[in-house]
């Protein structure tokens, strides 16, 4: 990796840590992060977890049976606001895969304090939008990170 390559974060156990910085563009007029932007941080966390595990979105789209993802459920608990210039960490754990569904837990933290929690259910889909079984490549590369008991945080 070159010095100019963006970081995909790091793993601690089976939890992925992705540092993010809050910029002016992320906030409302009061300097507090606009609520919809939390979804962006969590999306980056899920994508960089996959990238860290060796799963590339482009690779999933190649071939005879392309696979994409759709979030079909997300629950956010806003506990405390993030503010301009904050240095935060998105923590992500892929918990289970059942059929086409992936269960994911995430948190956004500042100095170890949880600001926002997310429970996410994503689904593997064909390019037609129909649910489909995850490809073997995805299952193989995520297997070491899945929680046998289903609880991570």
pLDDT, one tens digit per residue, over 82-109 is 999 999 999 999 999 999 999 999 999 9
28 catalytic residue (yes or no): yes
Tell me if residue 115 falls in helix, strand or coil. strand
Confidence band for 4, pLDDT divided at 50, 70 and 90: confident
Q: Residue 14: name the closest of 122, 139, 140, 148 by CA.
A: 148
Q: Give the predicted TM-score (pTM) of the model.
A: 0.92
**Tokens 């590339």, residue located:** 56
How far apart are the C-alpha atoms of 81 and 110, rounded to whole Å? 10
Q: How far apart are CA 94 and CA 120, in angstroms?
A: 9
Please write the tens of the pLDDT for every residue from 27-60. 999 999 999 999 999 999 999 999 999 999 999 9
pLDDT tens string 121-145: 999 999 999 999 999 999 999 999 9
Q: How far apart are the first and last CA of the chain?
A: 30
- Buried-state track 124-138, b at ≥16 Cβ within 10 A, e below 16: bbeeeeeebebbeeb
Candidates 3.40.1180.10, 1.50.10.20, 3.10.129.10, 3.30.300.180; CATH matching 10-142 = 3.10.129.10
Domain ranges (residues) in the chain: 10-142
Catalytic residue among 26, 28, 64, 86: 28
Q: What is the pLDDT of residue 6?
A: 80
């Amino acid at each position: 990796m070159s010095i100019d390559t963006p970081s995909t974060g790091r793993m601690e156990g089976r939890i992925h840590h992705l540092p993010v910085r809050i910029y002016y563009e992320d906030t409302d007029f009061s300097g507090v992060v606009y609520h919809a932007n939390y979804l962006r941080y969590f999306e980056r966390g899920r994508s960089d977890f996959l990238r860290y595990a060796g799963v590339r979105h482009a690779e999933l789209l190649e071939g005879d049976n392309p696979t994409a993802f759709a979030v079909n459920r997300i629950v956010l608990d806003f506990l405390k606001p993030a503010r301009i210039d904050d240095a935060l960490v998105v923590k992500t754990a892929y918990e289970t895969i059942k059929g086409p569904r992936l269960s994911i837990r995430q948190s956004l933290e500042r100095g170890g304090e949880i600001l926002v929690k997310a429970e996410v259910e994503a689904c593997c889909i064909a390019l037609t939008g129909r649910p489909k079984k995850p490809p073997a490549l995805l299952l193989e590369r995520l297997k070491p990170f899945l929680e046998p008991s289903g609880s991570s945080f």
